[in-house]
Amino acid sequence: MSKKTNERPIFPFTSIVGQEEIFKKLSLILNVIDPKIGGVMIMGDRGTGKSTIVRALVDLLPPIEVIENDLYNSDPYDKELMSDEALEKIKNNEKISIIQIKTPMVDLPLGATEDRVCGTIDIEKAISEGKKAFEPGLLAQANRGILYVDEVNLLDDHLVDVLLDSAASGWNTVEREGISICHPAKFILIGSGNPEEGELRPQLLDRFGMHAQIKTLKEPNLRVKIVQQRELFERNPKEFNLKYQDEQNKLIEKIVTARKNLKNITIKYEILEKISQICSELNVDGLRGDMVTSRAAKALAAFENRLEVTPKDIFTVISLCLRHRLRKDPLQSIDSGVQVQTKFKQVFNYN
């Protein structure tokens, strides 16, 4: 059984054009294959389609099975991804109904409060009735899906910190007046913003797995094509989506296969050593850069249906994984990727 929803048509992911889009699309696809990469921050000029491509991503994700009427999208087969309520039902041998839903995608509004994001505890009810009266927030809705924050660079730093903590741990904890509630919140965090309005602090930016930077297209023929694509979509969304259905299905199949094969991908020690050498020589703080680069390269190999990571895989992903980790001064601009690629070519002796 599945939920039926009346949804507005979404611009198909495979119809989005432009050379600059390749890296933006790749960063999103790799995070879908391996959410442990840690999400992606997409920075770009106004009107470069950041929101369009993120919202198109959800159509590439297979549906998920959840426990019916559960507010946390609890996985009926994995206790680590179940809410306390679901675990209680299973413990009491209550019958649970399983349904299939579309992978959730939650938009976090810019003016959202911490209570709206994390959820609230009704202290009065908890004291008077002795129950943990909890109203789940956006993190509960996003569990096992995607949480998208547009203009994340304008969000309060504390709130960004909360999102990053939940994305990294897979859990959300709310504490009020000595009462503590914890629930699964495993999601892919995607942020976007306009660099003219400022970047995140380096400490927060470092916690995003990947960083894609998109500039306005200059080629007139591509600009015309994008305008025409949009007009065709708006004129008849259903017909436009049908035109790309085969391409969408092929991409979905590749992603599903890559997810299954990810555990079988190997990466040679010498390559791992060279990744760490690049991070060290670029003065990248911590080990996140090393880990994210190897994870992203494995996801790319899986996506291309190979079993071993090659230097070319590293070259493809390393700028996306490291460029935002080079900035030490909040006023400094983010590297375009040239510095990372130059260092890669030196270390790997790659032409």
Alpha-carbon gap, residue 75 to 86, rounded angstroms: 9
Q: Minimal CA–CA distance to 293: which of 270, 263, 313, 265?
A: 313
Q: Minimal CA–CA distance to 72: which of 159, 175, 163, 182?
A: 182
Q: What ranges do the domains of the chain cover? A: 13-63+102-217, 262-348
Burial of 250 per CB tally in 10 Å (0-12, 13-18, 19+): exposed
The answer, yes or no, to whether residue 336 has pLDDT greater than 50, is yes
pTM of the model: 0.86
Give the amino acid at 24.
K
Region 46-75: mean pLDDT is: 86
Identify the pLDDT of residue 1.
Answer: 42
Instruction: pLDDT band for 285, please (50, 70, 90 cuts).
Output: confident
The predicted-structure confidence for 102-140, as pLDDT tens digits, reads as follows: 999 999 988 888 889 998 887 666 566 656 678 889 999
Q: Which CATH number fits domain 262-348: 3.10.20.740, 1.10.8.80, 1.10.110.30, 3.40.190.10?
A: 1.10.8.80
Region 185-209: mean pLDDT is: 84
Residue 240, SS3 per DSSP? helix
Least confident of 9-13, 217-221, 342-346: 217-221
Give the amino acid at 64.
I
Alpha-carbon gap, residue 300 to 322, rounded angstroms: 16
Q: Are 45 and 214 in contact (CB under 8 A)?
A: yes
Give the amino acid at 337.
G
Which are the contacts of 19, defined by CB distance < 8 A and separation ≥ 6?
222
User: What architecture is the 13-63+102-217 domain classified under in CATH?
Assistant: 3-Layer(aba) Sandwich (3.40)
SS3 content of the chain, % helix, strand, coil (to 5): 50, 15, 35
Q: Are 145 and 72 in contact (CB under 8 A)?
A: no
Task: Enumerate the active-site residues.
Answer: 288
Identify the pLDDT of residue 327.
Answer: 67
Mean pLDDT over the full length of the chain: 86
Name the phi and psi angles at 219, rounded to 5: -70, 120
Which are the contacts of 6, defined by CB distance < 8 A and separation ≥ 6?
none
